[in-house]
Amino acid sequence: MEKKQVAIVGASGYSGEELVRLLLNHPFAELTAVTSRQYAGRTLGEIFPKFANQPRAKGLRFTEPNVESLAKEAQVVFLALPHGLAAEFAAPLLRTGCKVIDLSADFRVKNPSVYKEYYAHDHPAPELLSQAVYGLPEVYRSKIQTSTLIASPGCYPTSILLPLVPLLKAGLISASGIIADSLSGVSGAGRKAELDYLFVECNESVRPYGVSKHRHLSEIEQELSLAAGETVTIQFTPHLIPVNRGILSTLYLAPLGAVVENGVSGSTGAPGNVAPLEAISEQIASCYRAAYAQEPFVRLLEGKALPDTKNVVGTNTIEIAWRLDPRTGRLIVMSAEDNLVKGASGQAVQSLNIMCGWPETTGLL
């Protein structure tokens, strides 16, 4: 395989650190630059001792981010920066001919006015939105292949979209009334010195937050609407739980063709059109198998097992299980992922592999 030089802008946050881990172990990507304003001049191993004696980390030192240097040192640049700032780097980097994989929200939302509504400032580079590809490989693999700008999905969106997109595309669930109840580990809040994320404030604590309009809704609803072919508005409640990593999403859905208890769904007209639960259950299983049986990073749980974040932490795998509740007629789908891997840096490397023509699982298994 042809090797590529890669760089990470903003390598000192949790996503950046996880990118470093993955790229230091990648056989075809050579990590040539890591930037951090805070740590410029210090070695990688000094700030993240766990990398200190990896042979490939030996020469690496944090630098101030600089577009010209980056363009010399790398063919692909990862941006692990706050929204707003990422776009400022993406535009000049693309002009130098670099490919960009952006882990921020800047290029995920196609509509700049939706972006402004959710992120409270004008989009910094709306002219680039049309060329950006939403980096969810299981959905946009072929577009990723030829893209120069990847908008890598958020952690909550990945955990919600992968279970929902196939069902919506197949018309197996109602596009309305969707509820996503999600639990996230504390690394999702980033490496920020804030009281709310101190050990003592998070340990032995569970709490909802951002009720009821979390920023990630903008990209979730955009992608669900595209899958459903109609405008989708969902209910989304994130919670903070005391684990370092992991997102568990529980989705409450109305299967079409079923009579859902008390009218939650009920798209069918006459009782005669109602499919028995077994038939619906089989349709859902078929749909998921068709979508994901060959996907290397989706694990469908078809037996008794239910998703558990401890089975996916440190990996690029998302676990998905589902139950059709005979009491209510509702479909419950549950997913588990590592918010920093499949929900961020692993998925970004998956896109890198696709863009570079390398086997998609390279460095991720």
- Looking at the Cβ atoms of 106 and 337, the one nearer to a second copy is 337
What 3-state DSSP class applies to 353? helix
4-9 vs 29-35, strand pairing mode: parallel
Q: Tell me how far apart the alpha carbons of residues 163 and 185 are, in angstroms, rounded to a whole number.
A: 20
- Looking at the Cβ atoms of 121 and 192, the one nearer to a second copy is 192
| Rg of the Cα atoms in the chain | 21
- Looking at the Cβ atoms of 8 and 318, the one nearer to a second copy is 318
- Looking at the Cβ atoms of 54 and 145, the one nearer to a second copy is 54
CA 164 to chain centre: 14
- Looking at the Cβ atoms of 88 and 261, the one nearer to a second copy is 261
Q: Tell me how far apart the alpha carbons of residues 321 and 162 are, in angstroms, rounded to a whole number.
A: 12
Q: Tell me how far apart the alpha carbons of residues 202 and 205 are, in angstroms, rounded to a whole number.
A: 5
Q: Hey, which bits of 2-132 come out as E strands?
A: 4-9, 29-35, 62-63, 76-79, 99-102
Instruction: Name 193's Cβ contacts closer than 8 Å, sequence gap at least 6.
Output: none
For tokens 């919670």, what's the residue?
Answer: 239
CA separation, residue 183 to residues 186, 187, 228 (Å): 10, 12, 25
Helix H or strand E encompassing 349: helix 346-356
CA 357 to chain centre: 21
Beta carbon of residue 179, minimum distance to a second copy (angstroms, whole number): 5
Q: Does the active-site annotation cover 356?
A: no
- Find, among 233, 63, 89, 213, the residue nearest to 149 by Cα: 89
- Burial label for 296, CB within 10 Å (0-12, 13-18, 19+), is middle
Beta carbon of residue 121, minimum distance to a second copy (angstroms, whole number): 21
Beta carbon of residue 327, minimum distance to a second copy (angstroms, whole number): 6
298, 317 contact by CB (below 8 A):
yes
- Looking at the Cβ atoms of 97 and 263, the one nearer to a second copy is 263
- Looking at the Cβ atoms of 63 and 335, the one nearer to a second copy is 335
Beta carbon of residue 245, minimum distance to a second copy (angstroms, whole number): 7
59, 48 contact by CB (below 8 A):
no
- Find, among 159, 188, 152, 162, the residue nearest to 78 by Cα: 152
Which of 98, 155, 202, 356 is flagged as catalytic?
Answer: 155
Beta carbon of residue 311, minimum distance to a second copy (angstroms, whole number): 4
Catalytic residues: 155
